[in-house]
Chain A
Amino acid sequence: MKTTVVEPPVPSGAPVGLPAGDGRFSLLPKTSFDGRVETELLEVAMGPHHPSTHGVFRMDVVLDGETIVKLKPVFGYLHRNHEKIAENVSYLASIPYTDRLDYLCSMTNNWAYALSVEKLAGLEPPERAEYIRVIMAELTRLANHVCLIGFLAQDMGALGTPLMYGFREREKILDLFEALSGSRMMCNYMRFGGCRLDLPPGWVREARVVVDNFPKFLEEFDNLLSGNEILMARTQGVGVLTAELAVNAGITGPMLRASGVNYDIRKVDRYGIYDRFEFRVPLGDHGDVYDRYMIRLLEMWESLKILRQALDDIPEGPVMDPNAKIRNFKPKPGECYERIEGPKGELGFYLVSDGGANPYRYRVRPPSLVNLTVLEDMCLGHNVADAVAILGSVDIVLGEVDR
């Protein structure tokens, strides 16, 4: 990404501070702008321990007063060798690791991985499994977006209340996941060729209760936040991402749609059975933080629409492809890339098989990492306090950024 920052001229003979980049504070050389005021640029390392960096992420910002003139994201503090480990274990054993990629949305990670292995091995999940997957993915989207909005509000100073509301609703969705898979967060639920287990008795009824009660919460959330003067002042016109830059930088997901580009992989690829559901894709006009917040709120309404249709239409039947082999699974040599519309954007898995029991190459296309690349372009010229809001609106999860 090209940035428009002009490096301040370094006068010869000026005292040079500590070398930058080792994570410590360093004073850059003194510069004078048009000879009037002697100002000093200050390099600040925000993170890796910072309450608003959503984990262990560092932003090296260069400040002119309060204004950001340069920003360098530094990550790798949570590099857990996911890809290397996955190349050394069997295809099946990677599924629990995919849970821990984006740890707020384990179900969609499972789905993206299962989808690529299915393409590699030529498996076809039965219809009931497809419905279950859609239900899980949309529930995950709800859980992710409520958390995100809560965190975003918390970053801007609303300590507690919105996040507490969000987590209250998330717990109800996690209860559904737990009843199904036995685990709240790390579901490890989907398999190549279907799903691990059938829905327990009464699950659909419970899910319908959650889905039916969700609009009440969304309206409450909407009333609480959308018209809030502080939120509008802090977010409108802040961190504008133009559609052109978003497309060129490969931004996907709600961030791209907030910039006004109509691109939803559920509509473009129609993977799974998304062609059967009626839903709309909300788009933003300005591409600022407020639009990104609003897109997520509107997306939750659309997810509820999909959920209602899927819960009504879900057929009976098996949940596993009878041809699927769980043990001693060796797909034939080849490569594949499959992607889904995760809650954060395009989540894809690229797999190369050499016919063995482990993938020869395993690569994750993480939406958070790619969306993070335009952070500097969005933050330049804004106050340092706005960088926190902008980062919050990108929706990163460090498990996925660093892998």
Chain B
Amino acid sequence: MDEGLRSELSKQGIFTSTLEDLYNWGRQNSVWPLQFGLACCAIEMIATSMARFDLARFGAEVFRPSPRQADLMIVAGTVTKKMAPQVVRLYNQMPEPKYVIAMGACAISGGPFKQGYNVLKGIDRFIPVDVHIPGCPPRPEALLHAFMTLQQRIDGQRLTGKSRPRHLNAEAPSEFPVPQFGAKDLEPPFNPEVWQPPRLVRSE
């Protein structure tokens, strides 16, 4: 739309926008997180939603206890091999469009407990993660920044074409296989659709 026309219309009290912008504006300001804490980072997540940091400014203060009502999963803390199936199952139960923030060193890579025999080396082995936050634990400001990053990401999505959100893409998978604890480790140890182990490529 012509900028001059738009400003002329706005002087007359007519607001113009595209459907896409309006849709994304509504979506990005009503991201409801799942009330789901795993470890230390959950305390910082709660602190973020409290008076000083006030997550409500971003329209995300409504922590839902049920995955059926949530849009965003904040994986806040260490994911152990006993807990990983439940995390993936909760993710599967969330309706589309759904987003994941991996909060803290443990959730993104295993963090300080990476050498532990019972610790999953990053939740992105099983579910697609939109925003990673480093830190042990990340400060509430870091979580706010992750929220803003996610909002920008939602804002950048188009209704059609390649960058359309997953709920508008019939081919995008909405559920991922839930791992089971096998004889020694989780089976499968990772979901090859979302994560592949890094390959060493030697230069010639």
Q: Which residues of A contact B (CB under 8 A)?
A: 48-51, 55-56, 76-82, 84-85, 88, 96-97, 100, 103-104, 147, 163-164, 167-168, 170-171, 184-186, 398-399
Contacts and interface: CB of A to CB of B under 8 A. Distances in A.
B119 interface: yes
A399 B40 contact: yes
Contacts of A84: 116-117
Contacts of A147: 43
B119 A80 contact: yes
A81 B40 contact: no
A56 B83 contact: yes
Contacts of A185: 40, 43-44, 137
Given A79-B118, A167-B50, A168-B50, A49 B90 contact: yes
Contacts of A104: 43
A6 to B, nearest CB: 32
B39 interface: yes
Given A49-B90, A100-B112, A78 B39 contact: yes
Contact of B35 (A51, A56, A103, A163): A51
Contacts of B65: 50-51
Q: List the 6 closest A-B pairs by CB distance, nearest first.
A: A81-B116, A103-B40, A167-B50, A51-B65, A80-B113, A77-B83
A164 B39 contact: no
B119 A81 contact: yes
Contacts of A79: 80, 82, 118
A356 B92 CA distance: 48
B146 interface: no
Nearest to B34: A49
B116 to A, nearest CB: 3
Contact of A168 (B51, B86, B113, B118): B51
Contact of A100 (B35, B40, B47, B83): B40
A166 B116 CA distance: 34
Given A48-B86, A103-B43, A78 B50 contact: no
B39 A186 contact: no
B139 A184 contact: yes
Contact of B113 (A55, A81, A103, A167): A81
Contacts of A82: 113
A168 B52 contact: yes
A156 to B, nearest CB: 15
A109 B188 CA distance: 37
A235 B172 CA distance: 49
Contact of B39 (A55, A96, A163): A55
A48 B51 CA distance: 27
A77 B80 contact: yes
A80 B119 CA distance: 6
B159 interface: no
B39 A103 contact: yes
